Amino acid sequence: MNKPLDAVTFGEAMAMFYANEPGPLHEAVSFSKALAGAESNVATGLSRLEHPTGYVTKLGEDSFGQFIVEALKKEQIDTRSVTFTKEYSTGMLVKSKVVTGDPKVEYFRKNSAASKLSLADFDEAYFASAGHLHMTSISSALSDSCRVFSMRAMEFMKDQGKTVSLDPNLRPILWPDTATMVATINDLATRCDWFLPGLGEGKILTGLDTPEEIAAYYLERGVSLVVIKLGPEGAYFKSADEEGYVKGFKVEEVVDTVGAGDGFAVGVISALLEKLPVAEAVTRGNAVGALAVMSPGDMDGLPTREGLAKFMNQEV
């Protein structure tokens, strides 16, 4: 019998090797290993904030797959719906270290085990045990079977009266062309309750320029809440009843920008699951996003509840 989960997510978890010294990736000699993947980042963040969370993926029967499932378990993430296959390998990536700007990331994920996720892997009872579904568009870009899985997950959770959040998490390199990417993600967006794009992503997806216009575009198409990330400036939110800007938190030093959006999602989702007002949820999202960019790994900065409270209280 499935134990109740506050949230469930699915996607491709990968083994990440990140350079220990700054410079061009091809010149890096020493690397550290960590778990990577947008959805696994969010699962980790929610779990650290004491929200029981399940993660669904398919891994290869290899050392990377074993590393990933053990890393998930270490974070107290429910892995009962993680499956293994002998036919395909677990994906991986390498990432440079930078002093300023975004690091260079190279993926080795084509025909990975996770890209073979299909309807045959969809466990209705497992998803029904969760109160909320969080997802990104990355899975839909991996393969047709993953896209069908994504649609099924959203439809099932909505039919069950559960909430669904979507972070577009644009990865143009994974899509055949921009038009396909935009059409697919906008189709996914109309099926979610909480949509969490960055301003740049919103511009690409809608052709509109301002946070207000972008939010209105999705509200008109059935989304209940749109929260738009504005980087250091904070975020803008809009629902049928309220809207506003929420300022960001001061960041002393940006160490690594990768994972900031996932951290933002963790803050917003966790607060909304706790029934906090939207403005407070966005404030928490800004806080977790700020903590994320001050740490080297994708999830190193994701805080515990105590760490989050300490950071937010210092900023008051």
Q: Is 56 left (phi over 0), alpha (psi -120 to 50) or beta?
A: beta
Distance of alpha carbon 157 from alpha carbon 124, whole angstroms: 9
Sorted by sequence, the CB contacts under 8 Å of residue 85 that are 6+ apart come out as 58, 59, 60, 61, 113, 116
Sorted by sequence, the CB contacts under 8 Å of residue 81 that are 6+ apart come out as 54, 55, 56, 121, 123, 126
In one-letter notation, the amino acid at residue 285 is G
Q: Which of 6, 62, 256, 262 is catalytic?
A: 262
State yes or no: is 300 an active-site residue. Answer: no
In one-letter notation, the amino acid at residue 169 is N
In one-letter notation, the amino acid at residue 133 is L
Tell me the longest C-alpha to C-alpha distance in the chain.
Answer: 53
Which active-site residues does the annotation give?
Answer: 262
